[in-house]
Amino acid sequence: MRSTRCVFLFAFAVVALAAFLSGCTDQVTRPEARLMPAAKPTDSGGAAANFEKRNLANGIDTEELILEMAEVCMTKAGLHPELMTFCQSTATKAAQDQSLMQSWLSTWYGIDHSPTLGNADQHVLSNLVTLEGAEFETAYLEAMVKQYTTAIRVEQHCYGRATTTALIDFCFNMQLAQSNDIDQMNSWLCNWYGVCR
């Protein structure tokens, strides 16, 4: 009797987990949902609109730094192949996300925003350009972990304050993707260079 109950509970747990994961997959990771054009927010004024304008402009600047860091990475020889692949996909994604945010800012609020980098961001890039090999990999991974950690806090704030569904979904999906990337980069730092967190 006990083994029958265990088998039933195990089968129930597997079915429930599969149903839960398939529901989450449709809502969270479906890439085509991120690329669909979104309608203009219904609240085109007030605090929510001001927040969204600032968030999109800052996000465009953040993606510029991520893109330029990845481009520096792609110029380096002798890197781990996994890191080179990561840099290539990061550059592609940053360019796509930046373009999407620029289109939203322009369409929703009539603002054209060209990306700018502050002094601290330019210093990070200048430093990365001068490094090679293991020093570059370590510095790049640490800088990206720091950048993504900051971005995740911003994205959590975004999906708590934004009112446009497309932007809320975008921030939520970005936070999940960057959390996974942080785990991967920390794993590389630990396995390759003994920098374990």
Classify residue 135: in a domain, yes or no.
yes
Q: Residue 160: what pLDDT?
A: 82
Classify residue 95: in a domain, yes or no.
yes
Q: Residue 55: what pLDDT?
A: 96
Total domains, the chain: 1
Q: List, in order, residues 6 or more apart from 172 with CB less than 8 Å away.
A: 28, 155, 159
Which residue positions in the chain have pLDDT lower than 50?
1-37, 43-44
Classify residue 9: in a domain, yes or no.
no
* DSSP state at residue 75: T
Q: Residue 40: what pLDDT?
A: 52
Classify residue 5: in a domain, yes or no.
no
Q: What is the CA radius of gyration of the chain?
A: 20
Q: Look up tokens 């449709």; give the residue.
A: 26
CA–CA–CA angle 131, 147, 176 (5° rounding): 130
Distance between CA 101 and CA 122 in Å, rounded?
22
pTM: 0.77
Within the chain, where are the H helices? 2-24, 31-35, 46-74, 81-109, 119-130, 133-161, 165-193
Q: Residue 14: what pLDDT?
A: 40
Q: Residue 45: what pLDDT?
A: 62
Query: CATH code at 151?
Result: 1.20.1260.10
User: pLDDT of 43-99, one tens digit each?
Assistant: 446 888 899 999 999 999 999 999 999 999 999 999 999 999 999 999 999 999 999
Classify residue 4: in a domain, yes or no.
no
* DSSP state at residue 196: -
Classify residue 32: in a domain, yes or no.
no
Domain encompassing residue 56: 48-193
Q: Residue 36: what pLDDT?
A: 43
